[in-house]
Structure 1
Amino acid sequence: MAQNARAGTSLEGMRPTYVYKVVLLGSTSVGKSSLAYRYVKNDFKESLPTVGCSFFTQTLNLQASTVKFEIWDTAGQEKYHSVCHLYYRGAHAVLLVYDIADKETLKGAKLWLRDLEKEFLPNEIVIALVGNKMDLAAEREVTTEEGEEFARTNGLLFMETSAKSNHRVNDVFMAIAQELLQREMEKSSAPSQLGRSTVDLRESRARTRCCWL
């Protein structure tokens, strides 16, 4: 189950601040740690497999609000699979990362999605499918269309990235921030509990869902 975003105000006292937990899931060596490091440090380094979980923070100062991401980078090795639910519990968003040059890792992302469906209600969190390692496009085993179709079928955000070349890394986190803030707006504009009609987040999700290539 996702937790409510922790909200506050910025130093100016005018702009709301939201704190969101974002978790990276995927098979080992798909580049989860490199994506997080590139996004937070704007740098690239080859990483050894993560042991357990790594933690990063990043703050986005947007026009109408401030978003603080608490980014949890989980281990992809099979031996850690059974404990990863402890890290993504209470998440607001998840990046399902696969390697475009390794078809097996897309299958891994699909298995992670099944695990998330057991933990969260439909549309309870924002999920993005991320095809990483665009710098290895010449060795591609997963076509853009395959990733796009899987994302569309399951109502996921979709983007292809490269942590090494910094291709669209910021874009995928910005897309997540925008989707989370859109949901905040929908919650705040919904009628009160007394006699209110339920907001259908499935319609909202379908309305905002698109693929970035």
Structure 2
Amino acid sequence: VSVTVTDMDWALFTPGYAMARRRPLIEDIPEAAQVLRDAEEIEDGPEDGTAGAELRKRLAGLTDPERQAMLLGLVRGEAAQVLAHGSTAEITPTRPFKELGFDSLTAMELRNRLSKATGLRLPATLVFDHPNPQRIAEHLRAGLAQDGQQGIADVLDIRRELTRIGEALNSVAPDARAREDIVDHLRDLITQLGTGTGAAEQDTTDLEAATDDEIFDFIDRDLGVS
């Protein structure tokens, strides 16, 4: 048995050392215990709604495969920064982080960088649980969807569907009864959307009083169908 004296940077050493499992050896050391408590507060605390706002805005206008590709690029880029690589050439989507040379400290750094970039509350074991860039990108995409990104995507999908309906209506000449049925359905949908106050109620009132031709003109104008 030998005794060694060392000047430890507990804030740097503890998270990486304890990220895979509990480490009773250091939990009774006050400095290490404080670092572990702080880490738990970060993981259990609320997500940062302001962090990653620009990223979320960019993701909102993309399809699901495009979001995956963008997040994969983010993971590979941050991993390259952590490893001090000049490019992401070696950081291929399915190459394991362990094979790239990640250790507990660099894994923690990558997790922190991705948390900051996305605003998501990510676990300390992120790199262990999702051992390659593709897996982490999928995890981020799922987290952003639960954090409200899916709601944005749903709105965009609805708008695309309305545009498709507008194009379909523009390509046919329904008879009077069919036009009446279509207008009734559109008025019902518009009423559902106009349940708020102010301008929304005014728009709903105007459309309820509109003629069939005015409703179809609304479709052409507001959905961009000519």
Fold shared per TM-score above 0.5: no
Q: What TM-score, normalized to structure 1?
A: 0.26
Normalized per residue, which structure has more strand?
A: 1
Q: What TM-score, normalized to structure 2?
A: 0.25
Normalized per residue, which structure has more helix?
A: 2
